[in-house]
Amino acid sequence: MRSLPLALRLFLYPLAVVLGLLAIGVAVALIIVVLAYPKLPSLEVLTDYRPKIPLRVYTADGYLIGEFGEERRAVVRFDDVPQVMKDAILAAEDDRFYQHGGIDYLGILRAASANILGGGLRQGASTITQQVARNFFLTSEKTLTRKLYEALLSFKIESNLSKDQIFELYINQIYLGQRAYGFAAAAQIYFGKPLKDITIAEASMLAGLPKAPSLYNPVVNPNRARQRQQYVLRRLLGLGKITPEQHQAALDEPLVIKRELAEFDVHAEYAAEMARQLAAEQFPDDVYSRGMKVYTTLIKSEQEAAYNALRKGVMDYDRRHGYRGAESFLNMDELKGDQDEALDEALQDIHDADDLVPALVLSASASEVKVYRKGGEMVTLTGDTLKFAAKMLDGKAPPNKRLRRGAVIRLQKDDKGNWQITQLPEVESAFVALSPQDGAIRALVGGFDFNRNKFNHVTQAWRQPGSSFKPFIYSAALEKGYGPGSIIDDSPLIVPASETGSQAWQPRNYDGKYEGPMKMRTALAKSKNLVSVRILQSIDPHYAQDYASRFGFDAERHPPYLTMALGAGSVTPWQMVSAYAVFANGGFKLNPYIVRQIRDENGQLLAQAASIRAGDESLRAIDPRNAFLMDMMLRDVTIYGTAARASVTLKRQDLAGKTGTTNEYVDAWFCGYQMTVAGCAWIGFDQPRKLGSGETGGTAALPIWIGYMQRALKDIPAQLPTQPDGLTAFGEGRERNYVYSENLGKIPVEEDATAALPPANLNLPPSD
């Protein structure tokens, strides 16, 4: 060695040291591999892949309406993933996936070179297999030990699973932001479509997410997401997976990002929450991770009709009562950076409330308002689009409500597709419909906007029913011998203080008019309060209280006083629609239900609603003759009475129901039915206050009911109940009267009997 030239020795000695250290390193690595490899975790979690799949809720006809779980995931088979999605993922994450054995050494060298030339960490070299190992078995800590285990696991995975199996695991497991796990879930969440329908532009956007889901989230960071998408498209072009023409078309394609987290096939958030609660009560263990499917009784088309009818009814009411001004204000001086991005970020935390889109006023005058709409559109409003908000463009408007620069407002498109100024309504509403034959809920909307107010007004709002409760008093009267043609006096009545225990009470009719003696059916059609009070006097309030419980009402919520005749008790829309269904189905009381069945992740039946139908005499609540006569009188209401708008609009004579308006227009109701479907609409404020003069059940609630029935009764032929045995009829047409045959000759006449009233605050409604 000494004979070697000095220069050669200077070269060989360091080389020997390097080779020695390398040999030692290889030996140490081999020892570690020999010791560590057998201790690597079992791959059973991969070979028997069971991801956390959320609880999903569907309509009866199979449309998704709710999803509950920490992870929003939709598992998809590898063969069902479109090729464009596979190509985009490989282009973005691991284009040599099908060539390497788990570790991409060429990729490591390429990344290292790019990082050295770029002066920093610009590229990584983590393969899809390594990411699978990391996601299933390891933490994200950046240590040498973790990297070694990641490499060893990658080799083990590659030796036990096929490439397609590994890729499928990655496609379903990777986190992509917005609680989305897997590309199938991300396609639905970001673009509102199944993975099979994804475009090249959309696939490129999704494929860019794994690198940094929060940084490239198109909802939170649209500009960075766009830059990442463009990178993926360049990679696809460079790899020959798309043509230059496809590349340019994808760049030009406008991406419509779903900005709300909970968008499903149909708006049924309140019903979905009810179904979730029922499933959680029955299957408390792993209910949100085992992939159970809950099928409700809702019908998609009818649920959509109910939702749209309620929204329209509420918005029409709101517009009748004028514009209240700006929703809030933002400090425009605090907005920094790119204008569009800053404006979008400023509006990000303001939810859309469906079609009521937030917008920021950039400038405002009496003739023109310029706004930035959430989502990236500048809108100029002029002319008729400003009429609704005109008073808040006046310089005399209150400063905290006036439309000026920085004001947050709402926009909504009109029937012609033009933006107009609107506002979030303060009033609330509820609608529910069911099948009178089996009690299945066909549509349920518990409020105007679930994201703003999760209180379910269908099941939780206890309100006074007003005159919509009168049919149950009339039904009780039929059992006491009255008939639709019985004559009752509609004239003023004073109940003295000696009988009320407090103060004299003088009930009045809604319209302030009194017509003297009239038929019972006419009194119901015209909603005459004095007739209802006299009927209740005659049959005894205690009897009426007990009788009403046959329909499912809580007796304690309807004290046995004369105020019951005017609907001063407490009910929910759920109770009311169930009670009206008794008249619709011939006298049977059915318990409403909203969940038809629950199935596990494999489709096996776990629970199913009991099969009950009208016609089972064990469910009979009232005499069939009573139901027939009440149906006849309630049809008068929709043809000649306070709800005549129903038969005119729907152009049919087989509708029945009753309006209701409580004291000082606090609550407005319409409950009614056709033999195949019953529905109930309510509108009012959560903190009870006046709806406004003239806002009766017929004005505010009935249009919602009609809007739903236009869809529910489409193609349903008119039908009327068959007269049951045991009735004797007199006269023809509207003059026709019926009585129970056994009561022939025993029809009671008007009496002046009075009944005890509550000792204090009567709160008596001038019900319609």
Active-site residue set: 93, 467
Tell me if 410 sits within 8 A of 359, measured CB to CB. Answer: yes
Cα torsion through 638, 640, 646, 647, rounded to 10 = 100
What count of residues does the chain have?
A: 768
Closest CA to 750 of 493, 524, 565, 538: 538
Task: Please tell me the distance from the alpha carbon of residue 59 to that of residue 67, in angstroms, as a whole number.
Answer: 12
Q: CA neighbours within 13 Å on the CB side: how many for 733?
A: 1
Which residues make beta-bridge pairs with 67? 56
Tokens 């990641």 sit on residue? 150
φ, ψ at 490 (rounded to 5°): -105, 80
Q: What value does the CA radius of gyration of the chain take, rounded to a whole number of Å?
A: 35
Report the b/e string of 719-730 with b at 16+ CB within 10 A.
eebeeeeeeeee
Task: Please tell me the distance from the alpha carbon of residue 545 to that of residue 560, in angstroms, as a whole number.
Answer: 6
Tokens 């993926």 sit on residue? 232
What would the DSSP string read from start to end of 698-742? Answer: IIIIHHHHHHHHHHHTTTPPP--PPPPSSEEEESSGGG-EEEEGG
Task: Please tell me the distance from the alpha carbon of residue 163 to that of residue 171, in angstroms, as a whole number.
Answer: 12
Task: Please tell me the distance from the alpha carbon of residue 393 to that of residue 699, in angstroms, as a whole number.
Answer: 30
Tell me how far the alpha carbon of residue 355 is from its chain's centroid. 13
Which helix (H) or strand (E) element contains residue 408?
strand 407-413
Tell me if 298 sits within 8 A of 442, measured CB to CB. Answer: yes
Tell me if 697 sits within 8 A of 703, measured CB to CB. Answer: no
Which helix (H) or strand (E) element contains residue 372?
strand 368-373
